[in-house]
Amino acid sequence: MDSKPLDSESTKRPYVKPEFTQVALRPEEAVLGGCKSTTSSGPAGKTCSTTSCSTTSVS
C-alpha cells in the first residue's frame, strides 16, 4: 500500500510543539487593591481621596 505523501494538498497541519508563554500579572492591580500611581491601579489622581486611602479618621 502506498503511503500518502505529505504535500500541499494534505489536510493535516504541521505539528507545532506546545509552548508556555509567561505573561506578567500585577497582583495588586489585578485584584483592585490599593490606589493608583504610575505603578499601581485604582482611581487616578495625584491625591487619592477614597476612604480606603484616607490617612486620618473623621471622628
Partner 1 sequence: MDTVSTCASAPLDFRIGDITFALTSEDPCLTLEAQGPVRHFLVTDGVPDVRLRAAWGDSCAPAEGEKLFDAGTVWQLHRQGQGYLFRFSSPSFGPEPYKTASFNPAFTSGEICLRGGCFQNDQPIYPLEYPLDELLMVHLLAQERGVEVHGCGVADSDGEGYLFLGQSGAGKSTLARLWTRGPGPHILSDDRIILRILDGRLWMYGTPWHGEAELASATRTPVDRIFFLARGERNEIAPLAHADAVGRVMACSFVPFHSRSGMDFTLGFLQQLTSAVPCAELRFVPDEKVVEFIRENAT
C-beta of 26: minimal distance to partner 1 in Å?
6
For partner 1, give the closer residue by CB, 11 or 21. Answer: 21
| Sequence-separated (6 or more) residues with CB below 8 Å from residue 4 | 10
Distance CA 48, CA 34 (A): 10
Q: Which amino acid is at 54?
A: S
Chain positions contacting partner 1, by CB under 8 A: 21, 23-26, 28-34, 36-45, 50-59
C-beta of 10: minimal distance to partner 1 in Å?
22
For partner 1, give the closer residue by CB, 6 or 32. Answer: 32
Q: What is the 8-class DSSP label of residue 53?
A: G
